[in-house]
Amino acid sequence: MKARLTCVAASALVLALSVISIRYISDFWLLAFVNSFQLHIAVLAALFALMCLVVLRSRIFIMLLAWAFVLSAHALYMHREFVTQAYAPQGAKPFRLLSFNVLMENGRNAESIADTIVASKADVAYVMEAAALTSVLPRLSQTYPHRLGCGQGVQSCDLLILSKRPLENARIGSLSYVSRERFAMATINLDGQELTLAAAHLAKPYFDEYHRNELSRIRSAISSVSGPLILGGDFNSASIAPDMGDFLLATDLKKAQWEPATWPTGAGQFGIAIDHIFARQPATLMKLDRLPDSLGSNHYGLVADFAIATP
């Protein structure tokens, strides 16, 4: 009986650890979303291996525990890659951004979401699946008189940028057949400093190669930007996924010291961060917080504070 339990438990652990180890051999798109959970799976596997070692006392669990520990350690290392050095240059200007996928079918909470956006005192808000806020757009325009999306620049109401300052060179484009009109760019004049804003809502990472290809198109779109740049939105993937790591390395974008979990909302702090806000110097991401309430969405929103260096 003991031998049978050892075989079953060891097989389950080998399968779980093998799935999250495939990334080190090949970036297989079908497992792309699983890669976002590497830390979660590896930690659970380590705990299970330790329990099996204590109960079943088989040496194989020592090997599996070591395997799980290595994968956990590397996941933690990847979470610390590309983090910002939160140092504000002297004379840098403060800037606040809110980013929130509000869920398209969430119109019943539109008023509460509008209250939250206004109360955040954000200079700019990125809103994904913004059709839920159609009824409160006139109210939001009182605080954010400038917008891109939902009838401004494009008729669709999916990706929306709200701004207290005029949006210049504003445009919305498609990242792929799946993500139509889900990438926007604009610039604002921040007291003499031109700041480039980019918002994105990417396809699910298990939709063939769409996710990697969409990241490549974003990379091309922002490659010509030389000044401060802020990119945010719903990426549907953690920053430790292989294509996300390649993207951050290629673009020199930085993320917060620790990104709060934004999905699934039911998991609370034990979820994963699939909504991100990145920045490139001379824009420095100083602080990133999660909104305390998901307000009926299946994502938590984010509020980021920046220091924008002036020439």
DSSP 2-57: HHHHHHHHHHHHHHHHHHHHGGGT---GGGHHHHTTHHHHHHHHHHHHHHHHHHH-
The pLDDT of residue 155: 82
The reply to whether 109 and 224 lie within a common domain is yes
Q: What is the pLDDT of residue 33?
A: 81
CATH number at residue 172: 3.60.10.10
pLDDT at position 265 is 95
Q: Which residues of the chain carry a pLDDT beneath 70?
A: 2
Tokens 């209250």 appear where?
A: 115
Decide: helix, strand or coil at residue 77.
helix
pLDDT digits (tens, 9 = 90+) for 113-144: 999 999 999 999 999 999 999 999 999 999 99
Pair (271, 296) in one structural domain: yes
Look at residue 175 in the predicted model and tell me its pLDDT.
92
Domains of the chain: total: 2
283-290 and 275-280 strand pairing: unpaired
Do 22 and 147 belong together in one domain?
no
How far apart (Å, rounded) are the C-alpha atoms in residues 228 and 216? 20
Final residue belonging to a domain, choices 21, 56, 80? 80
* Same domain as 69, residue 99: no
Same domain, 177 and 274: yes
Residue 5's pLDDT is what?
77
Q: Indicate if 189 and 273 belong to the same structural domain.
A: yes
In a domain, 87, yes or no: no
| Co-location of 112 and 175 in the same domain | yes
Task: For 130-178, list the strands marked E by DSSP.
Answer: 146-148, 160-163, 168-173
Cα dihedral 80, 83, 89, 91 sign: negative
Q: Which residue segment(s) compose the domain that 58 sits in? A: 1-80
Do 58 and 196 lie in one domain? The reply is no
Query: For the segment 197-249, what is each residue's pLDDT rounded down to a tens digit?
Result: 999 999 998 877 899 999 999 999 999 898 999 999 999 999 999 999 999 99
- Whether 232 is in a domain gets the answer yes
